[in-house]
Structure 1
């Protein structure tokens, strides 16, 4: 039972079942030749030798010669943490590369090959997922309409409020500019003051209540009500997104810049 749990934990680091078995055998045996390790791990000698070579390449096992015989020894289990960190870095590099080509992939996709897709989200986790989705398209402009007092619900949920501000920081670090049409309010004033660090430009719409937020990005339109109902939806459809984006740009040109 313990061995099964250990193998599962090792598998979570990216090791195969054979690699996990060989590493556990080496931890218990100490420095040994491949033949002894193979017997302990219950694997064929040739396969065990290949696995040991792979583990050595990953920096998890060390090898040395003694009396013309090659020995292997397991490195400290702490190196597995480093292995996970390396995998994390590699995934981030791959993710960055994919995001860079995402606009090209979207451009070559036939816009009539799929029907408009609408997804409904509920609760705090649902609201968070909508915001996270705005960071995944690769689009560097996020067009928005809404009152900051409504979608920064400090009184109702300070945890969500703090999370949204953190999201704004992450959005800015990704180079995504928030182009927002908003009401004059205390929270909007605060958002305006952070406009440089959070890559935000605002224009002011007066005399109209904006109880929900609308975000337009890529081929998607997100409608979010986070202050009361904690509900939102994402419409994934290029014509719909283009229409909302063009309306936003038309209204934008008629509005004054936001001022404190």
Structure 2
């Protein structure tokens, strides 16, 4: 991931803010005109981004004569910036959760798109903490999103979340104390993987742009679990 993109996605900076911050890191103490050229943006946009970075505590300046010299804060301070944002979120999160629980429909279905959507849905597996029943996996997560797949599996182990995988015969899945697999005689590969955890069903479709359908319904989840458990009892161990 490029540095500009990383600052945008991880720190929530705008494209111009990220460019200006990186220009400051490369240049050290500099005047606005030079920063504008280094960041490859017009002077007005550079000034606006500098003002925003100053307000966020990610840049500082000193006035020498009548000229302002700008400088980036130590990149390690970006973690402090993110921690402060999380503290702000923690302050309002309880109220948001109460409103969400009160207003949420009893039966809820949502659609997520792209890699970010898949990360969001699988993050719910971790948050829920309940056993995850998975069927139809062809290791798409490992092949399409290997870095996230490794983190996801590590979190499952760390949180002690058991997973049962019902997979096609002819495939082999690495098992652990928490990750179990059984094999069913399915003839063809499928791009669809179903996860059942808590009161939720996540149907992931590994098309060119992956999509996930999340169903939050206790009755439907119970029915899926019952079907999965029937298949599990009748599946082979190898």
Q: Which interval holds the TM-score relative to the shorter structure?
A: 0.5 to 0.7
User: Distance in 2 between the 1:249 and 1:91 partners?
Assistant: 43
Matched, 1:180 2:174: no
Q: How far is 1:253 from its partner?
A: 3.2
Q: How far is 1:205 from its partner?
A: 1.5
Matched, 1:204 2:204: no
Give the 3-state SS of the residue equivalent to 1:131 in structure 2.
Answer: helix
Q: How far is 1:143 from its partner?
A: 1.4
Task: Kindly indicate whether the alpha-carbon contact (under 8 Å) linking 2:134 and 2:165 is maintained by their aligned counterparts in 1.
Answer: yes
Change (3 A) 1:179 1:113: same
Provide TM-score, normalisation by structure 2. 0.57
Question: After superposition, where does 1:118-197 map in structure 2 within 5 Å?
Answer: 118-135=109-126, 137-148=127-138, 151=140, 154=143, 160-163=144-147, 165-172=149-156, 174-175=158-159, 176-186=161-171, 189=172, 191-192=173-174, 195-196=175-176
User: Distance in 2 between the 1:83 and 1:145 partners?
Assistant: 43
Residue number in structure 1 paired with 2:53: 9
Aligned residues between the structures: 186
Q: How far is 1:9 from its partner?
A: 1.4
User: Distance in 2 between the 1:177 and 1:94 partners?
Assistant: 33
Residue number in structure 2 paired with 1:50: none
Q: How far is 1:129 from its partner?
A: 4.0
Give the 3-state SS of the residue equivalent to 2:63 in structure 1.
Answer: helix
Contiguous gaps of at least 5 residues in structure 2: 1-43, 66-70
Task: Kindly indicate whether the alpha-carbon contact (under 8 Å) linking 2:182 and 2:235 is maintained by their aligned counterparts in 1.
Answer: yes
Counterpart among 204, 212, 219 of residue 224 in structure 1: 204
Task: Kindly indicate whether the alpha-carbon contact (under 8 Å) linking 1:144 and 1:180 is maintained by their aligned counterparts in 2.
Answer: yes
Change (3 A) 1:139 1:12: same
> How big is the alpha-carbon RMSD for the aligned residues of Structure 1 and Structure 2?
4.3
Counterpart among 210, 216, 221 of residue 241 in structure 1: 221
Q: How far is 1:152 from its partner?
A: 5.0
User: Distance in 1 between the 2:79 and 2:181 partners?
Assistant: 39
Q: How far is 1:216 from its partner?
A: 1.1
Residue number in structure 2 paired with 1:28: 63
Give the 3-state SS of the residue equivalent to 2:128 in structure 1.
Answer: coil
User: Distance in 2 between the 1:218 and 1:115 partners?
Assistant: 14
Task: Kindly indicate whether the alpha-carbon contact (under 8 Å) linking 2:169 and 2:186 is maintained by their aligned counterparts in 1.
Answer: no
Question: After superposition, where does 1:40-55 map in structure 2 within 5 Å?
Answer: none
User: Distance in 1 between the 2:226 and 2:81 partners?
Assistant: 41
Q: Which of 1 and 2 has greater Rg?
A: 1
Change (3 A) 1:3 1:28: farther
User: Distance in 1 between the 2:153 and 2:196 partners?
Assistant: 19
User: Distance in 2 between the 1:117 and 1:208 partners?
Assistant: 33
Give the 3-state SS of the residue equivalent to 1:120 in structure 2.
Answer: strand
